[in-house]
Amino acid sequence: DDYELGGHPDFMRKEMAEQPEAVARALRGRLDERFATAHLGGLGLDPMALRAVRRVKFLGCGSAYYAGQMGATLVEELARIPADAEPASEFRYRNPVVDPDALYVAISQSGETLDTLAAVQELRRKGGRVIGAVNVVGSAIARECGSGVFLHAGPEVSVASTKALTNMTVSFAMLGLLLGRVRDLSAASGQRIVSGLRALPAQIEEILTEDARVQQVAKRHAHARHMFFLGRVRGWPVAREGAQKLKEISYVHAEAYQSAELKHGPLALIDADMPSVVVVPHDELLAKNIGTMEQIRARGGPVIAVTNAEIPEGLADEVIRVPRGEPELDPILLTIPLQLLAYHIAAELGRDIDKPRNLAKSVTVE
């Protein structure tokens, strides 16, 4: 293990550090500057089949589900096709209407999660078109789907998914770009996304250099018993994934909420002992997110802003900065500091980071 850790204290840390190269691998040979699109040959869908897709549904469990929610936002924004995500475990147990004009995407790092595999089997039985977004080549879900996009994250050992999740989202940005470019997405906008994707590895590298700053924030808040993670639209799945990471590896209770819903109930919980991590992308909703932080501050709640925007001085107790890229790709970058935050809180509390209690890396049983 020592050799495999390559000098890192644990696998989660190693895998977070590997993200720039993992993303570069996912992009390699798939971006096309000339036609401002992406090539995902493994999908096995020609332009006509891509144009016929009327809806996209992402299915996965745990972090893969949150990556799917980020994917749904990306596909809707870039291709203007209705898209959503659902936990594969829910999908398999209800009696879903299988839409023959939809493209279903089964997401799994391991490719062995039973709930996701069962969802794929149910879809195939009912004539749904399902592709995989899988990291492990030759895994059960990859085989059952027969086509899809490989994640190329490399082996992931830590139970908490980091680089695989990042590569899922990067892959869905390429899928959105591809679906968009056979529809209404202009060449100029496509080019903007291609450049934005190319910039990601260096930007992730830059976020990782903020590690000591995030550790400082973590130390100050590690003894909170509960934390809110808030975001809206692009920031909402980011907040959900951030809360999940904190829960799984630190055992601190975290709840993710849509920022605008705060005033409809959870605001009652805000006090000096309830820190809120607010995801603030530099987008058209910036003013709304500033309003959210003001509401929390007015009730005495500590605010940790994770942002690539300029926010008023003194509004947040802590500011964790992220480089600014193309707005559609913000969720990819904003997720990284939340991994670091969960990691450092867990480390501060002395948790077994790679093997959190009660959890398994891949759940292959009911």
Which residues participate in catalysis according to the annotation? 361
* Identified binder of ligand G6P from the candidate list 108, 166, 335, 339, rule CB under 6 A: 108
* Rounded least distance, CB 338 to ligand G6P, Å: 14
Stretch that binds ligand G6P, among 42-50, 62-70, 201-209, 259-267 (CB under 6 A): 62-70
Place of tokens 């959210």: 292
* Rounded least distance, CB 82 to ligand G6P, Å: 24
* Rounded least distance, CB 113 to ligand G6P, Å: 3
The two three-digit tokens of residue 20, written as one number:
């720039």
* Identified binder of ligand G6P from the candidate list 61, 119, 185, 243, rule CB under 6 A: 61
Between 158 and 187, how does the x/- string for binding to ligand G6P read (CB under 6 A)?
Answer: -xxx--------------------------
**Separation of alpha carbons 288 and 299, rounded Å:** 17
> Interface with ligand G6P includes 250 (CB under 6 A)?
no
> Interface with ligand G6P includes 203 (CB under 6 A)?
no
* Rounded least distance, CB 241 to ligand G6P, Å: 10
Contact criterion met (CB below 8 Å) for 161 and 60: no
Contact criterion met (CB below 8 Å) for 23 and 171: no
Cα 227 to Cα 41, 162, 255, 273, 352: the distances in Å are: 42, 21, 6, 9, 20
The sheet that has 253-258: what strands, in order across it? 253-258, 226-231, 276-280, 303-307, 318-321
> Interface with ligand G6P includes 338 (CB under 6 A)?
no
> Interface with ligand G6P includes 110 (CB under 6 A)?
yes
Please name the residues in contact with 134: beta carbons below 8 A apart, sequence gap of 6 or more.
Answer: 106, 107, 108, 109, 111, 141, 142, 145, 148, 150, 151
> Interface with ligand G6P includes 237 (CB under 6 A)?
no
Taking the least distance from each CB to ligand G6P, the nearer of 232 and 240 is 240
* Identified binder of ligand G6P from the candidate list 166, 203, 259, 362, rule CB under 6 A: 362
Q: How many residues bind ligand G6P (CB under 6 A)?
A: 16
- Give the residue closest to ligand G6P by C-beta: 62
* Rounded least distance, CB 57 to ligand G6P, Å: 16
Q: What is the DSSP string of 312-348?
A: -TTS-SEEEE-----GGGHHHHHHHHHHHHHHHHHHH
Q: For 312-348, give one letter per residue: b (16+ CB within 10 A) or e.
A: eeebbbbbbbbeebbbbbbbbbbbbbbbbbbbbbbbb
**Separation of alpha carbons 286 and 275, rounded Å:** 20
* Identified binder of ligand G6P from the candidate list 116, 250, 289, 308, rule CB under 6 A: 116
Taking the least distance from each CB to ligand G6P, the nearer of 82 and 155 is 155
Binding residues vs ligand G6P (CB under 6 A) = 61-64, 108-110, 113, 116, 159-161, 359, 361-363
